[in-house]
Amino acid sequence: MYYFFRGLSLIHTKGLKRFVLVPLLINLVLFSFAFYILLAQVNAMVAAVQLYLPAWLHWMEYLLIPLGVMTLVIGLAYSFTMVANFIAAPFNGLLSEKVEAYLSGRVLPDTGIAGFVKDVPRMLGREWQKLLYALPRAIILFVLFLFLPVAGPILWFCFMSWLLAIQYADYPYDNHKIDFRTMRQQLRAQPGNSFAFGITVNIACMIPLFNLFVMPIAVCGATAMWVDKLAAQNDPALKAPGAKAYNKLDKYC
The whole-number pLDDT of residue 187 equals 94
Residue 225, domain member (yes or no): yes
Higher-pLDDT residue of 73 and 162 is 162
Residue 138, domain member (yes or no): yes
Nearest to 119, CA basis, from 130, 129, 108: 108
pLDDT tens digits for range 54-107:
777 666 666 766 776 676 666 666 667 777 777 888 888 889 989 998 988 776
Residue 66, domain member (yes or no): no
Amino acid at 102: Y
Residue 213, domain member (yes or no): yes
Residue 51, domain member (yes or no): no
Residue 57, domain member (yes or no): no
Nearest to 193, CA basis, from 222, 159, 232, 154: 222
Report the alpha-carbon distance of residue 93 to residue 126 in Å, rounded.
11
The whole-number pLDDT of residue 146 equals 77
Report the alpha-carbon distance of residue 103 to residue 223 in Å, rounded.
9
Report the alpha-carbon distance of residue 136 to residue 223 in Å, rounded.
27
pLDDT tens digits for range 217-246:
999 999 999 999 888 887 755 554 544 444
The whole-number pLDDT of residue 164 equals 93
Domain count, the chain: 1
State the helix-helix crossing angle for 151-175 and 180-188, rounded to 10 degrees. Answer: 120
Residue 65, domain member (yes or no): no
The whole-number pLDDT of residue 165 equals 94
Report the alpha-carbon distance of residue 157 to residue 153 in Å, rounded.
6
What is the average per-residue pLDDT within 165-173? Answer: 93
Residue 58, domain member (yes or no): no
Amino acid at 7: G
Please enumerate in sequence order all residues whose Cβ is within 8 A of that of 177, keeping only pairs 6 or more positions apart, or say none: none
pLDDT tens digits for range 172-224:
999 888 999 999 999 999 888 899 999 999 998 878 778 888 889 999 999 99
Helices and strands (DSSP H and E) totals, the chain:
10, 0
Q: Which domain holds residue 212?
A: 2-38+80-252
Nearest to 231, CA basis, from 193, 196, 186, 179: 186
Report the alpha-carbon distance of residue 155 to residue 169 in Å, rounded.
21
Nearest to 198, CA basis, from 251, 146, 162: 162
pLDDT tens digits for range 15-69:
888 888 888 888 778 777 777 777 777 777 777 776 777 777 666 666 766 776 6
Nearest to 170, CA basis, from 199, 140, 133: 133
The dihedral built from the CA positions of residue 25, 26, 32 and 36, taken in this order, carries a sign that is: positive
pTM for the whole structure: 0.77
Report the alpha-carbon distance of residue 190 to residue 165 in Å, rounded.
11
